[in-house]
Structure 1
Amino acid sequence: MDETHASAPAGDVVGDLVRKARAAQVQFGPSDQARVDEAVRAVAWSLYQEDHARQLAELAVADTLLGNVPDKIIKKRRKTFGTLRDLLGVKSVGVIEEDRALGIVKYAKPLGVVAALTPSTNPGATPVNKAMMAIKGRNAIIIAPSPLGYRTTALAVRWMREALVQIGLPADIVQILPPPVTKDLTQALMAAVELVVVTGSQDNVRRAYSSGTPAIGVGAGNVPVIIDETADLDAAAGKIAASKTFDNSTSCSSENAVVIVASVYEQAIEALKRAGAWLCAASDKEAIERTLWVNGKLNRDLIAQDASILAKAFGLPAEAEKARFLLIEETGIGKNHPLSGEKLSLVLTVYRAKDFADAKHLVRRILEHQGRGHSCGIHTTNMDRARELAADLKVVRVLVNFAHTFGNGGGFDSGLNFTLSMGCGSWQKNSISENLNYKHFLNITHLVTPITENKPAEEDLFGPHWQRYGR
């Protein structure tokens, strides 16, 4: 931001951006489906190309000190590729659905200008992911990035803008708030647009909901997964290890607790060790809690760090520094037991359950403490148990035999759409109970024509009541 911008009122800065966005959106809005998909594909390619993904990953790790470069490259390319697959397979222009029996035809229309708040954990992938969805709906988008990841997001935005210009569209379809990104600037942006989409801190989610603009926020994760006595233990351990260690556990979908049925507890622990885990001694627990949390908050210097760094910080044996991730056994749940919450680190809390019923009870308690609405998982060959979890627990997603991080936000072997923003329903005061997708970036016009009258008799509707209680 130049000196003029730095000293200008937030409303003036945002007003200029929004005017540019509206002008760009008016120009883009009449595009047909082929042109829209061309724009989505161009924006996706601006991140997917390997040299760009690598540069953004390196910059993100250098600036935020979160995660690791190889996994961030994979995440950027995988999420972008999967989202592009999802978006190119659906209609978002003109007639998108027709129900002749009901006489209803649905027409998709743009929202206008979208504000997207993005986190430091994914400063490259999340802005592009949201931009792809917004553009699919023929909207313009303005990114409000985490200050920590600003340089990464700014570079991603620059490449998206260049990609749009290359295909003959206005660059201002995608913009970014100028630095420094302040709460006042972000608040002014949220008040000036048609939709706010927030991925990041719960403080940002709450402020978005109070902005006066329709908002889609996401909830905190704290994923518990069950290993029951029917599971393939090595397969389960391998999936948990792959998911937990990916990008050093920056994902909200990363496992935070594993609840193991007692009859296979020792065998499952051994399987996790074979997958690269180090089981901490009970005597290490106090040092882990004291070091990983400072004044009740996660230690910024330890989250999303390599396991070797954690092992040294916790004072674990030298052998632990070779582990992929750390296990620590726990029995308590709640605010006095921080290991029962989200850790954003390569620390996985382990609970022993008497049986499946007890495991379900523990998962429910963990989610009630933190992460309600988000998701949980189970490794089992008994689908009745998975269905029971889905029927009984207050979560949007129950994953069965998955590496949770790779299935929860969409996967090539998962029917969930690719996204980096997962709604948690009213359980976390979210407005959506599904993965964020292109439909959330559309207005829908319903064309309604007459159909054959569908008016039942009074007896059809009130008959059961009359028979039981009288008229």
Structure 2
Amino acid sequence: MTLQLNEQDIQTIVNAVLKNVESAISEKNKPIKMTQLSQATTQKQTISSVDGVFDDVEEAIEQAHLAQKQWMKSYSIADRERVISAIREAVKANVHDFAQKVLAETKIGNYEDKVAKLTLTVEKTPGTEILQTETFTGDHGLTYVEQTPYGVIGAITPVTNPIDTIVNNGIGMIAGGNTVVFNVHPSSKHVSAEMVQLINRATTQAGGPANLITMVKEPTIETVQQIAANKHIRLLVGTGGPQMVKSLLKTGKKAIGAGAGNPPVIVDETADLKQAAKDIITGATFDNNLLCIAEKEIFVLDSVADDLIFELLAEGAYMLDNKQVDRVMQFTLKENKTGIPGGCSYMTRDYLVAKEWVGKDATKILAEIGVQNIQTKLLLCEVEAEHPYVQLEQLMPILPIVRVKSMEEAIEKAVDAEHGNRHTAIIHSNNIKNVTAFARAIDTTIFVNNGSSLAGVGYFGEGFTTMTIAGPTGEGVTSARTFTRQRRTVIANGGLNIK
């Protein structure tokens, strides 16, 4: 039997679909107490509650696989968002404790900024609200495009932002209907395990399934390989250096790679130099310059270079003289005797960053060269564009300054120093032509004008935050939407041939 539908019938169908969508949105936003959710969904749990940390990586993957099937079968989008809200509250209540623990274990960065960074991640990582369904209607029927999960995701986290990446990736991935198996950096495995345990407790107490987020207790290169090879892993996400990204891309699976950066800053003659100095120091000193988005080198027009340096010093920076620069180089850098690629690019360079000095306080660097009783968060040095501090992503509160004669020279040298990472760049300028020229030439994922680099991830800037900026693979600033696949459903022929 053929069902004949006229235009009024089709409109009735469309209205019904829209009404259901509106109802779902209304239900999603309806405040529900945690105890109510727990009572309503406890019967959905079939997996015994565990803390998400496994001795065996294969078991971590298997439990995440079972959890993902349950997550999609028995939990609505509104349920997902309520579980995510519980995770946010649990992490937020423990921000100060985790900031202390991550600093104690990794021994890099500083406590105050770790508190700010984790708080930012909890508050501004988007959840299910970013998963918008797109619809098309017309004479030929109705089409809607949904964001659907990949399944189980394998994710690698860096030592620079270990727990922040777990929270950021974890929220985004489970918001998209996935589960995730983390292979964390070995130097942060204990605090990372505590974070995974906290998230699992918050999830199950809110009525969600156990093991939405798992990790292997002893992460190694071998466990990364096992995760990548496992049949249940449908997507790989890596946050770290270029070699890690390169290895993920070789697996043959869909991979999202967030590589290193070496963000340049340009300051021209039209900039508000006092504000520029404040913004540069804010970004370059945050967590002792551990963030990949942070200002790494300045290219300033010679006509305003002295004034900019004056403002930077007035804001508390310390200028190293030439002899001090040479002495600091002796222990913060090391010769690349083996010729391996290092720093922020795949290229072999004469120097590598000494890992034991990554993320250390500026005052400790000064103390190493005998300068005592100086309170500063940032060390400055005037160098040429070819200097290792310009060309390497040193991840230390050392900011090299390069004088240039023209905007054209500034752009050319900045693009060269960024090494094609397409990560982040900053300019302080009120000349729209200069801003536009630099933006087009550098072509980075994040581009900030007249602000701190932190504005690019929503810290005193608009937009959501992320700890995974996928420049190498092109996804850009990642969110729950990044960790989903599109599914297009089509009701064709205006619904005229429905039987």
TM-score, normalization by structure 1: 0.85
Matched, 1:377 2:452: no
- Which amino acid is 1:341 matched to? L
* Corresponding residue for residue 76 of structure 1: 118
Matches within 5 A, 1:51-450: 52-83=94-125, 86-87=126-127, 89-91=129-131, 96-100=133-137, 104-179=143-218, 181-192=219-230, 193-295=233-335, 296-313=351-368, 315=369, 317-318=371-372, 321-333=374-386, 337-368=388-419, 372-404=421-453, 406-415=454-463, 417-424=464-471, 430-450=472-492
Say if 1:386 and 1:398, in contact at 8 Å, map to a contact too: no
Distance 1:274 1:125, change over 3 A: same
Gaps of 5+ in 1: 7-12, 425-429, 453-471
What CA deviation, in whole Å up to 9, does each residue of 1:81-112 have, x standing for no partner?
011xx3253336xxx11123695310222211
Matches of 2:321 and 2:198 in 1, distance apart? Answer: 48
Deviations along 1:134-167, whole A, 9 cap, x unmatched? 1111111111100100011100000000011111
Deviation at 1:395, TM superposition (A): 2.0
Please state whether the residue corresponding to 2:304 is helix, strand or coil: helix
SS of residue matched to 1:89: helix
The 2-side partners of 1:35 and 1:439 are apart by 18
- Whole-angstrom distance in 2 between the partners of 1:174 and 1:337: 40
Quick one: distance in 1 between partners of 2:209 and 2:447? 41
Q: Distance in 2 between matches of 1:121 and 1:364?
A: 25
Seen in structure 2, the aligned counterparts of structure 1 residues 34 and 342 have a Cα distance that, compared at 3 Å, is same
Measured against aligned partners, the alpha-carbon deviations of 1:254-274 in whole angstroms (never above 9, x if no partner) come to 111011111111000000001
Q: For 1:138 and 1:146, how far apart are their aligned partners in 2? A: 25
Aligned residue for 1:100, secondary structure, equals strand
Q: What secondary structure, in the 3-state scheme, does the structure 2 residue paired with 1:268 have?
A: helix
CA contact (8 A) 2:189 2:217 kept: no
Question: Which deviations, in whole Å up to 9, do the C-alpha atoms of 1:31-84 show, x marking residues without a partner?
Answer: 2221111122122222122xx11121111111111111111011001121011x
Distance 1:140 1:433 in 2: 20
Matched, 1:43 2:91: no
Q: Deviations over 1:300-325 (max 9, x none)?
A: 22211111101122x26436x32221
In 1, Cα distance between the equivalents of 2:447 and 2:291?
17
**Structure 1 residue matching 2:379: 3-state secondary structure:** strand
SS of 1:322's partner is coil
Match of 2:41 in 1: none
Give the Cα separation in 2 of the matches to 1:252 and 1:240: 14
Query: What is the rounded CA distance, in whole Å, between the counterparts of 2:128 and 2:207 in structure 1?
Result: 20
1:338 positional shift = 4.3
Name 2:19's counterpart in structure 1: none
For the residues of structure 2 that align with 1:163 and 1:195, how far apart are their CA atoms?
25
The answer (yes or no) to whether the contact 2:359–2:396 under 8 Å persists in 1 is: yes
- C-alpha contact (below 8 Å) 1:262/1:352 kept by paired residues: yes
| Per-residue CA distance 1:176-234 (angstroms, 9 max, x = gap) | 1122x111111101222111111123332222212232110112111110111111111
Q: What secondary structure does 2:477 align onto?
A: coil
Q: Provide Cα deviations, 1:106-137, integer angstroms capped at 9, x if missing partner.
A: 02222110111111111211101101001111
Percent of residue pairs identical: 25
RMSD: 2.0
Give the gaps of 5 or more residues in structure 2.
Answer: 1-53, 336-350, 495-499
| Alpha-carbon separation, structure 2, partners of 1:437 and 1:289 | 38
CA offset at residue 449 of structure 1?
Answer: 4.7
User: 1:56 is aligned with what amino acid?
Assistant: F
Partner AA of 1:355 in structure 2: S
In 2, are the aligned partners of 1:278 and 1:327 still within 8 Å (CA)? yes
Shift of 1:275: 1.1
> Aligned in 2, Cα 1:195/1:433: closer, same or farther, shift over 3 Å?
closer
In structure 1, distance between residues paired with 2:364 and 2:128? 42
Give distance in 2, aligned partners of 1:173 and 1:362. Answer: 46
Aligned with 1:373: secondary structure? coil
C-alpha contact 2:291 2:395 (8 A) present in aligned 1: yes
Displacement after TM superposition at 1:378 (Å) = 0.4
Contact kept, 8 Å, 1:82 with 1:411, in 2: the verdict is no
Alpha-carbon distance in structure 2 between the residues aligned to 1:344 and 1:132: 27
Q: Residue in 2 aligned with 1:427?
A: none
Contact residue 289 and residue 339 of structure 1 kept, 8 A:
no
Q: Is residue 225–residue 259 contact of structure 1 (8 Å, CA) maintained in 2? A: yes
Q: Which residue of 1 aligns with 2:77?
A: 33
SS at 1:418's partner residue?
coil
Structure number with higher relative contact order (C-alpha < 8 Å, ≥ 6 residues apart): 2
Number of aligned residues: 421
Contact in 1 for aligned 2:67/2:212 (Cα 8 Å): yes
